[in-house]
Amino acid sequence: MRKLYDALQRFRPHFEEGGRLQSLKPVYDATESFFFAPLAVTVETPHLRDALDLKRFMAVVVVGLLPCLAAALHFFGLRLLAMIFVSYAVGGTIEVLFAVVRKEEINEGFLVTGLIFPLTLPPSLPLWIVAVGIAIGVILGKELFGGTGRNPFNPALVGRCFLAIGYPAAMAGNWLKPGSGTLGRLAQYVDSSSINAISSATPLSAAKQGVFASLPDLFWGNVAGSAGETSAIAILVGGIILVVTRVASWRTVAGVLLSFALLNAVLHRVNPGAFAPVVWNLCAGGLLFGAFFMATDPVTSPFSNGGKWAYGIIIGAVTLLIRSLTGYVEGVMFAILLGNIAAPLLDEAAVRIRLRRLRDEI
Amino acid sequence: MRLRGGYNIAVTGRPSREVEVLPEPDVLYLPLRSRRFAFTELCVKDGQRVRSGAVIATDPKNFGVPLLAPREGTIRLDASEGHVVIEGARPAAEQQYDPDTEIPHVPKDPGEADRKRRQLLALGAWEFFSDAHTGTLPDPFGTPRAVIVSTLQLEPFQSRGDVQIRERLAEFTRGLEHIQSLLERRDAPVGRLRRATGTSLHQPIHLVVPRVNSRLAAELQERLRGYAWVNIVQVPLRYPFDNFRLLARYLKLKPNPEEPVWAVRTGGVLAVDRALTRHLPCTVRLVSLGGPGVMDPKHLKAMPGYPIDRILDGRLKDGTVRVLNGGGLTDAVLPPGQLGLDVECSGLTVLPEHTEREFLGFMRPGFDRVSYSRAFMSCVLPIALRHSTALRGELRPCVSCGYCEEVCPAGIMPHLIHKYLYRDGLEEAEAARVDLCVGCGLCSFVCPSKIELCRQMLDAQQRISRELHAQEEEDS
């Protein structure tokens, strides 16, 4: 530890002003502050500060994603690690390039985007498509708008949306059948070339043909689908960590799930053919993953409490309608992006109401 | 408005109920400046021998509030810059108030209430009062709209409100009676007219007490049962609900420069009692000594001018520390040249300076981290919570997590105002009611992006009154 610190300090002069590697200062700073907490102290009131910083904030999201990651590795094998590596490598490089050109610091938000993105993809997607997706997601979804904190859309979903439209065959054609048994596919590496023999339909596409996966399979995640979305229990465990730690807003999650469940309950009575039973529909597809991990991104969701409820309701309702009434088998991605579009408007309305109340305050 | 937001920061190093009487000092260093006052008009000469309670200097800009000699001794004016030094200090019989004393800047008025107000001013008790809205010293001869008396002191590491009141309940209630006797409405109609209009003879006194079930609270309520003119206001024991601006808003007392709202804490009520019952100068104060840098946090009975070195000597833990003149969230660092306690000092807070770079700090479980979020294990099992001067992170863009809005007691949206100010939208910030910020510092405390929200909002308040309102006046 001491040696690492000393080594970092030895290289520091090269990155300072006048050094040979001055332009790579953001990279040096990010590396140093990753390993060693900064020395910065308060200079004005309040002299005390909360221990939470953005690194910890994002680290909590990563911890919340770990159960999903473990489930995904179990059901779909080691190839997921390769996808995560590509995602971090390509996305991280782009992040660094933008930081160097802008002479800004590298933000921690990418720790989450880089992990969440592969978890939303089919587990057998060719790695080059993963690279294209994350590149588009980071550039179009985040950096063009000014980087972390200023992006209107969830970068991982922008990347996924691009792939869904640009490479429909790769994205929706073959879904890897989950491994069974104690080890599952933990010791296997299944890539796009060998998938044809072991593909299967996702629960939602099978349901369109009238075949419903069993509820325990959906609950544990023993079904085909995007890498991180299949296991309801893993998502719930991770999601509850996020809500309890206050990193994700419970209002958004509750808005999504309640609106989806209520609307589904009503419409299932009206038209049981098009609308699946509530509990089954809640556990199938990417709804839970989207509700806990994607919709709750604080930057792209509304900041007002009222806005969060409305945003959640929009996402839940639109997901159900796309899923059940359109040609698409899944609608979470479009619903959240639609929610992202609506977020500023919802906030505007909530702020107006709030300011009208505040106007007459003394 | 209802009381909303607020947050009690978990701390170690809060002063205990123990009150230690400090040993008599030989030398006193009386600072000529404090947060509100500048005692520029000297009333003594170098080498002059003064009695305890004599006026050393006055502040002409603040209704001539006096700086009193806490002890008998010899004055040295040039011994230390910015201070009046009293050498050979020793306790002596204190000088009782002489009603014929001439006080500069204060007009003589024959009224009974005015006579008492003069006495409060002359004996140093008026310094405990403030204007609830502006925090400045109110005119001692003005007519207040109401008086807010707060028994709370909720800032971390600060004096606990119940320490003083516990032992001196009788003096406290007598002090309240004295304050009430100052408040005769000069314009109140008399007799039948008063009954017909329902106007009361006195301005209300709002006594703010914590909403807790304790023997002390019950005893206080019992004592005040017959005091129809005291309106007891119960508030949750949560920082910063002891803030007078917030309390004034809660009590629907609008700011009005003609009729200010007086605000005073427990120490002030006891000072009023001492000045008006015993006619003695109020030179001894109860100050807290708290913070994680102190070995044994407690309360101290000390007088202004008491050498700070002597207070801190042998009481600090090892390592470099930062000493604050007041609490940890709103008050400033003790100026390096200040040698003695100033007249407004409510306590000293000692924070260890942050010097350590933790290896992979953000990945640690954090049993010792204090956080509004529950992102550390300390939310389940708090072990040895640590506070220091660490910023605990790097400046990052706002991610709209909304924590600042949740804790804001004023009901405004600090993150939104920050975004308006980021694009120089001063008018938008004004429309978002940045003026309601009471400067409690909670938004800056909780911000995970380490943005100085509180400072930005207080600066914006100043800029708005300077730029926008000056422009309006020019136009009109």
Determine the residue among A12, A25, A31, A52 to mutate to test chain B binding: the one whose Cβ has the most chain B Cβ atoms within 10 Å: A52
Model confidence at A195, pLDDT cuts 50, 70, 90, reads low
Cβ–Cβ of A52/B393 closer than 8 Å? yes
Of A83 and A188, which is predicted with more confidence? Answer: A83
Q: Is the pLDDT of residue B357 over 70?
A: yes
Q: At B298, is the secondary structure helix, strand, or coil?
A: strand
Provide the edge-to-edge strand list for the sheet that holds B146-150: B130-131, B261-265, B146-150, B205-210, B230-235
Average pLDDT over residues A166-177: 86
The answer to whether A171 touches A125, Cβ cutoff 8 Å, is: yes
Average pLDDT over residues A158-162: 96
Cβ–Cβ of B396/A148 closer than 8 Å? yes
What residues contact residue B196 under an 8 Å CB cut-off, 6+ apart?
A: none
| Domain A54-353 of CATH type 1.10.3430 | yes
- Residue B410: name the closest of B434, B377, B381, B445 by CA: B434
CB of A150 within 8 Å of a chain B CB? The answer is yes
Q: Which residues of B touch A1 (CB under 8 A)?
A: 359
Provide the edge-to-edge strand list for the sheet that holds B285-290: B19-21, B298-302, B285-290, B347-352, B321-325
Q: Which residues of A touch B334 (CB under 8 A)?
A: none
**Single-letter amino acid, residue B331:** D
Distances (CA, A) of A196 to A74, A124, A177, A192: 20, 10, 10, 8
Measured between alpha carbons, how far is A75 from A62 in angstroms, rounded to an integer?
20
Domain ranges of chain A: 1-49, 54-353
Q: Which residues pair with B390 in a beta bridge?
A: A41
- The residue in chain B having the minimum alpha-carbon distance to the alpha carbon of residue A49 is B445
CB of B333 within 8 Å of a chain A CB? The answer is yes
Q: Is the pLDDT of residue A281 over 90?
A: yes
- Residue A163: name the closest of A194, A120, A203 by CA: A120
Measured between alpha carbons, how far is A310 from A22 in angstroms, rounded to an integer?
47
pLDDT winner (highest mean) among B188-197, B216-225, B322-331? B322-331
- Residue A57: name the closest of B309, B448, B108, B174 by CA: B448
CB of B323 within 8 Å of a chain A CB? The answer is no
Tokens of B76: 């040295």
Predicted structure pTM score: 0.91
Give pairs for B377-384: CB < 8 Å, separation 24+. B378/B10, B379/A245, B382/B10, B384/B12
Measured between alpha carbons, how far is B71 from B54 in angstroms, rounded to an integer?
9
Nearest 5 degrees, angle CA A260-CA A265-CA A269? 145
Which residue reads 């007041």 in tokens?
B326
Measured between alpha carbons, how far is B452 from B459 in angstroms, rounded to an integer?
11
Q: Is the pLDDT of residue B476 over 80?
A: no
Measured between alpha carbons, how far is B76 from B199 in angstroms, rounded to an integer?
53
pLDDT reported for residue B88: 86
Cβ–Cβ of A149/B441 closer than 8 Å? no
Model confidence at A286, pLDDT cuts 50, 70, 90, reads very high
The answer to whether B438 touches B246, Cβ cutoff 8 Å, is: yes
Average pLDDT over residues B285-301: 91
B227-278 pLDDT, tens digit per residue, is 888 899 999 989 899 999 999 999 999 898 888 999 999 999 999 999 999 8
Radius of gyration for the alpha carbons in chain A, expressed in angstroms and rounded: 22
User: DSSP strand E in B123-204: where?
Assistant: 130-131, 146-150
- The residue in chain A having the minimum alpha-carbon distance to the alpha carbon of residue B450 is A53
Tokens of A86: 């590509």
B32-88 pLDDT, tens digit per residue, is 999 999 999 999 999 999 988 889 999 999 999 999 999 999 999 988 889 999 998
- The residue in chain B having the minimum alpha-carbon distance to the alpha carbon of residue A39 is B357
Q: Which residues of A touch B361 (CB under 8 A)?
A: 36-37
Q: Which residues of B touch A59 (CB under 8 A)?
A: 362-363
Measured between alpha carbons, how far is A339 from A345 in angstroms, rounded to an integer?
10
**Single-letter amino acid, residue B118:** R
Measured between alpha carbons, how far is B311 from B303 in angstroms, rounded to an integer?
11
Q: How many residues does chain A have?
A: 362
Average pLDDT over residues A324-328: 88
Measured between alpha carbons, how far is A269 from A310 in angstroms, rounded to an integer?
24
Q: Is the pLDDT of residue B99 over 70?
A: no
Cβ–Cβ of B445/A49 closer than 8 Å? yes
pLDDT reported for residue B94: 67
Q: What DSSP assignment string belongs to B309-367? A: HHHHTTTBPSS-EEEEES-TTTPPBPPTT--B--TT--EEEEEEPP----BTGGGS--T
Measured between alpha carbons, how far is A162 from A56 in angstroms, rounded to an integer?
30
Measured between alpha carbons, how far is A331 from A328 in angstroms, rounded to an integer?
7
Q: At B450, is the secondary structure helix, strand, or coil?
A: coil
Model confidence at A308, pLDDT cuts 50, 70, 90, reads very high
Measured between alpha carbons, how far is B162 from B262 in angstroms, rounded to an integer?
21
Q: How many residues does chain B have?
A: 476
Distance from CA of A5 to the nearest CA of B (A): 9
The answer to whether A41 touches B355, Cβ cutoff 8 Å, is: no
Measured between alpha carbons, how far is A143 from B323 in angstroms, rounded to an integer?
43
The answer to whether B272 touches B125, Cβ cutoff 8 Å, is: yes
Distance from CA of B66 to the nearest CA of A (A): 29
What residues contact residue A138 under an 8 Å CB cut-off, 6+ apart?
A: A91, A94, A95, A110, A113, A155, A159
- The residue in chain B having the minimum alpha-carbon distance to the alpha carbon of residue A52 is B448
Cβ–Cβ of A48/B9 closer than 8 Å? yes
Q: Is the pLDDT of residue B6 over 70?
A: yes
CB of A128 within 8 Å of a chain B CB? The answer is no
Measured between alpha carbons, how far is A211 from A218 in angstroms, rounded to an integer?
13
What element of type H or E holds A110? Answer: helix A109-119
Measured between alpha carbons, how far is A313 from A129 in angstroms, rounded to an integer?
32
Determine the residue among B3, B134, B254, B396 to mutate to test chain A binding: the one whose Cβ has the most chain A Cβ atoms within 10 Å: B396
Question: How many cross-chain Cβ pairs, A to B, lie less than 8 Å apart?
Answer: 195
CB of B382 within 8 Å of a chain A CB? The answer is no
What residues contact residue A225 under an 8 Å CB cut-off, 6+ apart?
A: A175, A202, A203, A285, A286
Model confidence at A38, pLDDT cuts 50, 70, 90, reads confident
pLDDT reported for residue B199: 52
B323-333 pLDDT, tens digit per residue, is 999 888 998 89
Which residues 260-319 in chain A show a CB within 8 A of chain B? 298-299, 303
User: Chain-wide mean pLDDT for chain A?
Assistant: 91
Which residue reads 């924590």 in tokens?
B403
- Report residue B259 CA to chain centroid gap: 21
Q: Is the peptide bond before B31 cis (omega within 30 degrees of 0)?
A: no
Which residues 123-182 in chain B show a CB within 8 A of chain A? 156
Average pLDDT over residues B315-320: 90
Distance from CA of B383 to the nearest CA of A (A): 14
Cβ–Cβ of A50/B446 closer than 8 Å? yes
* ipTM of the shown complex: 0.91
Tokens of A231: 């296991």
Model confidence at B102, pLDDT cuts 50, 70, 90, reads low
What residues contact residue A177 under an 8 Å CB cut-off, 6+ apart?
A: A198, A199, A200, A224
Q: At A246, is the secondary structure helix, strand, or coil?
A: coil
Which residues 249-268 in chain B show a CB within 8 A of chain A? 249, 252-255
B134-178 pLDDT, tens digit per residue, is 999 999 988 899 999 999 888 888 877 778 888 888 899 999 999
Q: Is the pLDDT of residue B191 over 80?
A: no
- Widest CA span in chain A: 72
Facing residue for A52 by CB, picked from B360, B375, B454: B375
Distance from CA of B435 to the nearest CA of A (A): 10
Q: How many C-beta atoms lie closer than 10 Å to residue A348's C-beta?
A: 13
Q: How many helices (H) and strands (E) does chain B have?
A: 14, 17
CB of B372 within 8 Å of a chain A CB? The answer is yes
CB of A249 within 8 Å of a chain B CB? The answer is yes
Facing residue for B397 by CB, picked from A5, A35, A150: A150
Tokens of B78: 């040039």
User: Chain-wide mean pLDDT for chain B?
Assistant: 87
- The residue in chain B having the minimum alpha-carbon distance to the alpha carbon of residue A44 is B332
- The residue in chain B having the minimum alpha-carbon distance to the alpha carbon of residue A3 is B359
Q: Mind listing the domains of chain B with CATH numbers?
A: 103-187+200-282 (3.40.50), 395-476 (no CATH)
Average pLDDT over residues A265-292: 93
Q: What DSSP assignment string belongs to A125-185? A: --HHHHHHHHHHHHHHHTGGGTSTT--SS-HHHHHHHHHHHH-HHHHHS--BPPP-TTTTT
- DSSP label at B393? S
Q: Which residues pair with B90 in a beta bridge?
A: B72
Cβ-based burial of B396 (10 A; exposed 0-12, middle 13-18, buried ≥19): buried
